[in-house]
Amino acid sequence: MSERRALLGRIRMWLILFIVCLVLSGLTAFPLVHELRWAEDLLRSSASPVPEQFPALMEWITKVRTGLDRTDAKYPFVLYGTDWLAFAHLVIAVAFYGPYRDPVRNIWVIEFGMIACAGIIPLALICGPIRGIPFWWSVIDMSFGVFGVIPLLVVRRMIKRLEALERAPRPEPAPTAAPAG
């Protein structure tokens, strides 16, 4: 297998991982009300040490679940915003098909993703306090940007190597002697 083909395979593997994570992240934004109920029940179960070990987390999960339940009961249209959040994740995941097909030509999508990951940090630091989000939860949100940028940095570096391989002059085949005739 050529170096180029091996590199392309690794790029595609990383991109598939990134796309799957974006899709899963998007899909989990649709059923928020049910997910929060399930998470709270799980964390409150007798097998869970969370209520005793992390009371602030338990209090936050309960507050968020209560807020979502009340919003869903009285103003379900507000949750339409999280449907759009989910949809945005799915659309962004589709954009990464471009680099999957032609990484060198579509490296800009990778760089766009890196910028978006970096943008998570100021968003969490600015909007978190405005919306009453605990700082430790904002740190969890910021971790999505930090962990999200890692595969994109790896992919970008590999795409640059692929680009260099494609631009490198290919050795000319050795001339063959013409048959004597």
Structure tokens at 177: 């002697």
Q: Sorting pLDDT into bands at 50, 70 and 90, what band is 65?
A: very high
Distance of alpha carbon 60 from alpha carbon 169, whole angstroms? 59
Distance of alpha carbon 47 from alpha carbon 39, whole angstroms? 13
Distance of alpha carbon 33 from alpha carbon 163, whole angstroms? 46
**Residue range 34-48, pLDDT digits in tens:** 999 999 999 998 888
| Number of Cβ atoms within 10 Å of the Cβ of 69 | 13
Q: Return the pLDDT at 1.
A: 61
* CB burial readout 131-149, b (16+ within 10 A) else e: eebeeeebeebbeebeebb
Q: Return the pLDDT at 14.
A: 98
- Has residue 173 got a pLDDT over 80? no
- List Cβ neighbours of 14 (8 Å cut-off, separation of 6 or more): 151, 154, 155, 158
Structure tokens at 97: 């098909």
Cβ-contact 88, 30 below 8 angstroms? no
Rounded mean pLDDT, 62-91:
96
Q: Pick from 79, 101, 118, 138: which is nearest to 8 by CA? A: 101
**Residue range 147-159, pLDDT digits in tens:** 999 999 999 999 9
- Has residue 31 got a pLDDT over 80? yes
Q: Return the pLDDT at 176.
A: 74
Please give the model's pTM, rounded to 2 decimal places.
0.85
Rounded mean pLDDT, 140-167:
96
